[in-house]
Structure 1
Amino acid sequence: MDLPRSFVIRESSHRIHDPFTSEKLAMLGQALRLSPGASVLDLACGSGELLCTWARDHRITGAGVDISTAFIDRARTRAAEVGVTDRVRFVHGDASGHVADEPVDVAACVGATWIGGGVPGTVRLLRQSLKPDGIMLIGEPFWRRRPADQAVVTGCHVESVDDLLPLPGLVEQFGALGYDVVEMVLADQDSWDRYRAAQWLNVRRWLDAHPEDELAAELRAELHAGPARYVRYEREYVGWGVFALMRR
């Protein structure tokens, strides 16, 4: 049970595995007005930056679950680096079936709603771990601009234009599921650049060090075509944000 090796290679230098900068992650923590001792569950936590920095800056406690052994190892290392090993813990496992032993103040799935089969299923999953007055965090992409044709859709790494909603539609979806949107922090093109462009350097460094690896041809082709595809399509058409929800 693990992530594909190619994914780990692409994001080998990333602390945040989404188009979110450390500044935006800090902004989100501040916007939520987290109280010392608040409990946080982060499903598909990646390398643990949310839990580690919020434990350091806001004195929260928490647990993160991720399917990647490499990312969980990095999360534990990061917790030690910032001195919060007594406040957060990380579990290697399938986040799609994980429910907290006790209800938490904040339940998050930031950028991985595939664990619930989409937004509605992920909301149902997180609700099982959340206190009645708690805050749910969902990180999700949306259309900044509606694609004019299927070439744009494919260039944005989705199969159908209906796979993403425009921002108003996404916010309305949260309402239809019975939640108030009480905060949001959105990625911008600069934070998208930092996420995607860092992948290109990671891949190039890996290719230089592993030219004979079985993945080399695939990742070389990806690096050859990826930057132009990104600036032509994804950068222009896809937005992303983290939305804070409270049950009505």
Structure 2
Amino acid sequence: MDRRQISRLAHADHPIAAPLADPTVERLLERAVTDRARVLDLGCGQATWLRRALALRPGAVAEGVDTDGAALELGRAAAEELGVADRLVLHEVDAAAFRAPHRFDTVLSVGATHAFGGLPATLAAARDHLAPGGRVLIGDAFWEREPGAATLEALDAVPEDFADLATTVDRVVADGWTPVFGHVSTLQEWDDYEWNWTGALERWALDHPGDPGAEPARAAAAEHRDAWLKGYRGTLGFVTLLLRPTTAP
């Protein structure tokens, strides 16, 4: 069972692949997406953000980019069920290599900055796709407090991988962006996300005892749970920022 299949199973009960509650997602989308917007999600997975945006804004159209073809197929099927498939186009391509013949009113990348090698590079890519007057909704991690050895080991990280919240926002502003809204995920949102992540895998393994993937799924859930509870819980934070360019693209 590969990493992508593990991720698809783990997000069965929490399709938003970030520590954000449903009301938070709704509030962010209400501010980020207007009714006639053209929306792009860089690293869209199963296009959960885009499907929710299209359901919220009947006049919007959307495109998503991801390298996981199986996730994109699930997204297309879910869009059909929701009745928004005619306004959604999904591309199986590396987000960093994606090019479009038009620009977008809203560019999303929440929990997918790894696809570009970090927050600054993700913002640079978003700017390349952004129409004049457009908005970027981006989510990334930060340190709630100075990480100790257990946190760094659990995340296979070094302290320089993230900054504290104030420094993170300062760097975004220095890069030419103005935050017009934001949300810092609460501990409850984190816990809900992690219990769903590990629980969905454990449940699948229990329901498929004869499947060769059952043991790898349980092992992945246990490893993730240990990393969370014994490593980064309360130390790793997550901030989602709604940004506009301080100067025109």
TM-score normalised by the chain length of structure 2: 0.88
Instruction: Give 1:87 deviation, angstroms.
Output: 1.7
Instruction: Tell me which of 164, 167, 172 is aligned to 2:165.
Output: 167
Partner of 1:20: 20
Task: Give unpaired runs (5+ residues) of structure 2.
Answer: none
The ranges of structure 1 where at least 4 consecutive aligned residues each deviate by more than 4 angstroms after the TM superposition are 209-218
Number of equivalent positions: 244
Partner of 1:141: 141
Deviations 1:160-203 (A, max 9, x none): 01111111011011012111111112221222122211122222
Distance 1:11 1:56 in 2: 20
Distance 2:178 2:228 in 1: 33
Task: Give the alignment of 1:131-210 within 5 angstroms.
Answer: 131-147=131-147, 149-155=148-154, 157-210=155-208
Partner of 2:55: 56
Instruction: Give 1:216 deviation, angstroms.
Output: 4.8
Point out the more displaced range, 169-178 or 192-201: 192-201
For the aligned residues, what is the CA RMSD? 2.1
Residues 13 and 113 of structure 1, relative CA distance in 2, 3 Å threshold = same
Distance 2:100 2:241 in 1: 21
Distance 2:131 2:173 in 1: 19
Q: Secondary structure at the match of 1:126?
A: helix
Partner letter of residue 176 of structure 1? A
Task: Give unpaired runs (5+ residues) of structure 1.
Answer: none
Contact 1:16 1:47 in 2 (8 A): no
Instruction: Give 1:211 deviation, angstroms.
Output: 4.7
Give identity over the alignment, percent: 28
Task: Give the alignment of 1:79-98 within 5 angstroms.
Answer: 79-98=79-98
Task: Give the alignment of 1:30-41 within 5 angstroms.
Answer: 30-32=30-32, 34-41=33-40
Partner letter of residue 10 of structure 1? A
Partner of 1:111: 111
Contact 1:109 1:137 in 2 (8 A): yes
Partner of 1:223: 221
Partner letter of residue 199 of structure 1? W
Distance 2:167 2:202 in 1: 38
Contact 1:44 1:112 in 2 (8 A): yes
TM-score normalised by the chain length of structure 1: 0.89
Partner of 2:42: 43
Q: Secondary structure at the match of 2:99?
A: coil
Q: Secondary structure at the match of 1:50?
A: helix
Contact 1:15 1:48 in 2 (8 A): no
